[in-house]
Amino acid sequence: MNTLFFRVAILGLAAGALFAQADRRGSLKVDLPKDSPISVLNADWGESSTAVRGGAMVLDLRTALTLRNSSTRRIRSITLLVQAQEVTPGGKASVSVPSLDVGPGETFPVKIDLRLLRPASNNGGPLVQVALDGVLFDDLGFYGVNKLNSRRVMTVWELEARRDRKFFKAVLEKSGPAGLKEEALRTMARQGERPMQGVQSVRGRSTNVEPERDLQLAFLKVPESPIEAIEGFAKVSANEVHAPRLEIRNRSERTVRYLEMGWILKDPRGSDFLAGTVPADLQLAPGATSTILQDTTLRVPERFAVGGMTGFVSSVEFQDGTFWIPSRAALADAQLGRAVAPSPEEQRLMQIYLKKGVNALVDELKKF
Amino acid sequence: MNANRHPSEIDLALYSGGDLAWAARVKTAAHVRGCADCKTRVAAYRADTRVASTVALTMPQSLDWDRLADEMTGNIRVGLAAGECVAPLVPKTQPSRFGFGRSWQQGLAYSAIAVVVMGAWWVNTPAAESSAIGRISRALWTQTPVAMLAEPGVTVEASPGGVLVKENGSSMALTSPGNRPVAVSVSLQGSARARYVDDDTGQMTITTVYVQ
């Protein structure tokens, strides 16, 4: 009889394990359109797991998708839309892979490492849905629903990638591998100087109990920028910046429809870091001025007291669909070069140098 | 059935009263169903139990309730008087030099309960709610003028741990286990972004969360 008990117990445990695996697999659904330029070749669920914490369920998804380029063009970037509508009614997410060079029929991996914390009740449907938001090709052509404005973001990444590859190739031509190595070391040193802080963005006023004060904003001058920042103010309380208000002027000869400004926060003790960006959709004719107002709160860790805020124009989209980004010459300015985040391509190239050496970096640059 | 495999008398007696453990009860029930002797014994035990219960519940005919109450009251008074006599001889628990009274065990028990409660709070309460309660408590304690204590809506966050969108205690985070982002930032339009670079291939992955 004891043997029978053991058999029943082992069967029960095995059934439970199979159910848990099936539950994890059913937690994520990848949904691609029929005419999608990419297809899912394989999905590895790795060490995905679910656990109950009090009245909540924690789902850890460790997914590695292998995607194939089903189109006839080379893919430069891809953005996948990740939604968990039932979990966070107000939120969605994306996973992007920039700086790709995937030819027709070739494959590439995309990792989705996601943690959901949600009430323990479940209606049985998939928790997470993954869809294609957009694909950018080497001719800057785009495919996708573009719900996340991924076309604009991926185009800026690609333009930055071309700018940076051109810069490093020029260094290679002028100074050879030794000069490229020196430039790589300078670039990595600059990347290493950039401090990283946790930052939050909250719609409207946050739960701060400190009184607010008005702070006048400063701006870094970028001579070639089509947009000039005239003045700006924000409300500041301890470690929060609320409702920034900017007055800008279009000094180019083309209408501007999108602008993104980067913001550096400064502590009274002297430390500073790039905290975030203020993007704005607008219709700004040549010579016209406009005011940008965001009813949002930017919150940094409590140990950091906001003493100053400096902005700079990081990208502009014109009405005709073309873009402006700062040139490498502009980024040579020490203050701007330290403020502007390195492009994804610059970070990828430096990783190749770091892991494989200057010859691998030379080979990589010669591919383009 | 072989007599050697009959349940013991003790097991049969416990079984008849429903006091056997689950596994033994199942085993004994299976045997009793197929064994006339044991079934008879179990029936006898149950009949005895009923008789004993009836006898125990029946009060003696000559019971004098008033006399019984007087005896109980007298015994209680004698007990109290005896307690007063021996009280000075019983050493009192010395209060600790911290003044916590006579029982350090009680303090230990309260501490253990406090640890359990705090642990349960830490495990079950979202960090944002704990933080908000902390801020409100601090404002009340310091009597700081409260500019506004609005409940925040959807929050997006970028940190060295990844990006996160949260609302009403639920959250969705995009992370990269064992890998720190090389850059993080938030947009005041309501998004947070983190960049990762694969150590081996150099492939970049950029995760973003958005407020809808």
| Distance (Å) from the alpha carbon of A87 to chain B's nearest alpha carbon | 6
What would you measure as the largest C-alpha separation in chain A, in angstroms? 91
Position B21, amino acid: A
pLDDT at B124: 64
What are the start-end ranges of the H helices in chain A? 2-25, 150-192, 328-331, 334-339, 344-356, 358-366
- Residue A199, pLDDT > 90, answer no
Tell me whether residues B188 and A275 touch, CB distance under 8 A.
no
The answer to whether residues A36 and A70 touch, using CB atoms and an 8 Å cutoff, is: yes
- Terminal-to-terminal C-alpha distance of chain B: 74
Residue B170 pLDDT exceeds 70: yes
How far is the alpha carbon of A16 from chain B, nearest alpha carbon, in Å? 23
- The Cα B187–Cα A259 span in angstroms is 12
pLDDT at B134 (0 to 100): 63
Please tell me which of the candidates B126, B173, B203 has its beta carbon nearest to residue A114. Answer: B173
Q: For the residues B72-89, what does the mean pLDDT come to?
A: 77
User: Could you tell me which of B196, B164, B160, B199 has the C-alpha nearest to residue A98?
Assistant: B196
Closest CB from B159, B188, B195 relative to A201: B188
**pLDDT at A240 (0 to 100):** 82
Output the DSSP codes for A249-288.
EE-SSS-EEEEEEEEEEE-TTS-EEEEEEEEEEEEE-TT-
Given a cut of 90, is residue A17 above it in pLDDT?
no
Nearest to A183 by CA among A362, A368, A363, A366: A362
- Give which of B167, B172, B193 to mutate to test A binding, by max A Cβ within 10 Å: B172
- Give chain A's end-to-end CA distance (angstroms, integer): 72
Give how far B149 is from chain A: nearest CA, Å.
Answer: 5
Average pLDDT of every residue of chain A: 82
- pLDDT attached to residue A42: 87
User: Considering only residues 172 to 191 of chain B, which have any Cβ-Cβ distance to chain A shorter than 8 Å?
Assistant: 172-177, 181-191
For residue A48, the chain B residue with the least C-alpha distance is B177
How many Cβ contacts (< 8 angstroms) between chains A and B? 237
Q: What are the tens digits of pLDDT across the range A279-332?
A: 888 899 999 999 988 777 888 777 777 888 888 898 999 999 999 999 988 888
- Counting every residue written for chain B, the total comes to 212
Q: What is the pLDDT of residues A132-167, one digit of tens each?
A: 999 999 999 999 999 989 999 999 999 999 999 999
User: Which residues, at least 6 apart from B71, have a Cβ–Cβ distance to it below 8 Å?
Assistant: none
| Cα–Cα distance measured from residue A177 to residue A167, given in angstroms and rounded to the nearest whole number | 14
Instruction: Name the least confident of A21-35, A185-199, A338-352.
Output: A21-35
Q: Is residue A134 within 8 Å of residue A97, measured between CB atoms?
A: no
Question: Does B12 contact chain A (CB < 8 Å)?
Answer: no
Would you say residue B148 has pLDDT above 60?
no
pLDDT digits (tens, 9 = 90+) for B81-138: 887 776 655 455 555 454 555 567 788 888 888 888 888 777 666 555 565 556 556 6
Q: Are A258 and A279 in contact (CB under 8 A)?
A: yes
pLDDT for A224-257, tens place per residue? 899 999 999 988 887 888 888 889 999 999 999 9
Give residue B19's pLDDT. Answer: 87
Say how many CA atoms lie within 13 Å of A133 toward its Cβ.
25
- Asked whether the predicted pLDDT for residue A336 surpasses 60, the reply is yes
**Location of structure tokens 């010395």:** B94
